[in-house]
Amino acid sequence: MEKELVFTSAESLLMRGEQPTIQSVMAATGLQYDIVEIQLRQWWKAIPEKISFNDDVIALPGLPEALGTAFGRIWHQAVEEAETRLRADSRTLNHATEEVRKLSEESLKESHNRISYLEITSRELKAKFEDTRIHSRSLEAELSVLKTAIAVEATSRKKEEHLRAKLENDLVHLRKAHEDAKRTFEQRIKEDQRHALDQISKSEADARYYRTASEKLRDDAGSKETLLTKKTHDLQSEIARHEVRIDTQHTLIRSQDEELKNLKQSSQIQSRDMASKSSALLAGDNKAKRLEHKRKEQDGEIKRLNQKALNSATEWGRRENLMRNESRSVQEELQRAQLKVVNLEKRSISQDEEIRRIKSKL
């Protein structure tokens, strides 16, 4: 059963113009790989028994005779065409082999000629090699001389490099010393300038303080002076009023004395009035004396305040002169420091020129 299925599927594939393979037969029959492989191998072995070729007729089992005859004609025609193609291919192959043989002979001749040319060139190269060997020996001798000269030059160059390194080291030390001196000098100048500026700022602050203090003292003295002048004017006006009153009272006393002289026999009431008036007059005199004493004290206070203001003004002027002298001395010191800076800059410039000369010598 399996054999028939495999054979039938293989023949059907062959009739369709396809080559029967294990995979195609397995796809057509659905059998396993081992079974299909064994049966297909048997089918391929049985094909020569099934198909027989004669000169005129090709016998195929299961086909009609007319179809076999037509297939035989087609087969013979295909065989003839294959033979003609084979003969044409053989002729072209013979022609190609002849051309290859000719080319090989020509290449052989060329190789012989080339070998002879190479032999001639090899002899020439040998002669040149001998010449070059002699020349190389002379060059080796010159090279040994040059090596000795190079060694001497290297030693001298090492000495020069050592000297140059020493000079560069000295130059580096000089640069460091110059930079340190320059740095310290700049720092000192900055400190001097800072100190001078601090002193100037302090002196300016002191001047402002003393100026404000003197202005305050002047304002206080002026206010006190105005107050005292106002009080003195008030006291003077009051004294004038009291003097007027005293004058009026004196006139009254004179008139009363005249009346007393004229009226010796006045009553006790008039005498008491006179006593009271005299006591009032004495009280007014005492009050006037006290006011005069107070006025004198106020005048002394005004003089003392004026003296104090004068002393403060002189003290402020003295301090201002001192501050001006200090600022002048600070400016002179600053000028001296600037002169020192200029001298040090000149010195640094001269040192730089000296370093440049040393470098140019190197």
Last residue of a domain, one of 50, 83, 116: 83
* H helix runs in the chain, sequence order: 2-15, 22-29, 33-50, 65-262, 268-361
Phi, psi values for residue 168, rounded to 5°: -65, -40
Interacting residues of 182 by C-beta distance below 8 A, sequence separation 6+ = 344, 348
The pLDDT score that the predictor gives to residue 90 is 75
- Tell me whether residue 106 is in a domain: no
Give yes or no: residues 45 and 165 share one domain: no
Give yes or no: residues 72 and 207 share one domain: no
Q: Are 299 and 235 in contact (CB under 8 A)?
A: no
- Tell me whether residue 210 is in a domain: yes
The pLDDT score that the predictor gives to residue 48 is 62
Question: 193 to each of 87, 155, 294, 328, how far by Cα in Å?
Answer: 121, 56, 59, 14
Give yes or no: residues 205 and 79 share one domain: no
- Tell me whether residue 227 is in a domain: yes
Give yes or no: residues 70 and 197 share one domain: no
The pLDDT score that the predictor gives to residue 196 is 67
Q: What is the mean pLDDT of each run of 10 residues along the chain (362 residues)?
A: 80 76 83 84 75 50 64 73 78 79 81 83 84 83 83 83 81 79 77 76 72 71 71 72 72 71 67 71 78 81 80 78 78 80 80 76 66
CA R_g for the chain: 76
Dihedral sign of CA atoms 268, 270, 276, 282 in order? negative
* First-to-last C-alpha distance (Å) of the chain: 114
Give yes or no: residues 194 and 325 share one domain: yes
Structural domains counted in the chain: 2
Domain range enclosing 55? 2-83
- Tell me whether residue 141 is in a domain: no
The pLDDT score that the predictor gives to residue 67 is 67
- Tell me whether residue 116 is in a domain: no
Distance CA(72)–CA(77), nearest Å, equals: 8
| CATH assignment at residue 36 | 1.10.10
| CATH assignment at residue 278 | 1.10.287.2610
The pLDDT score that the predictor gives to residue 49 is 64
Give yes or no: residues 52 and 199 share one domain: no
Give yes or no: residues 357 and 224 share one domain: yes
Distance CA(31)–CA(283), nearest Å, equals: 169
The pLDDT score that the predictor gives to residue 337 is 78
- Tell me whether residue 307 is in a domain: yes
Distance CA(94)–CA(177), nearest Å, equals: 102
Last residue of a domain, one of 62, 83, 104: 83
- Tell me whether residue 97 is in a domain: no
Give yes or no: residues 200 and 315 share one domain: yes
Please give the biggest Cα pair distance in the chain. 222
- Tell me whether residue 104 is in a domain: no
Query: Crossing angle of helices 33-50/2-15, nearest 10°?
Result: 60
Last residue of a domain, one of 83, 106, 139: 83
The pLDDT score that the predictor gives to residue 55 is 47
Distance CA(217)–CA(313), nearest Å, equals: 9
Give yes or no: residues 77 and 167 share one domain: no
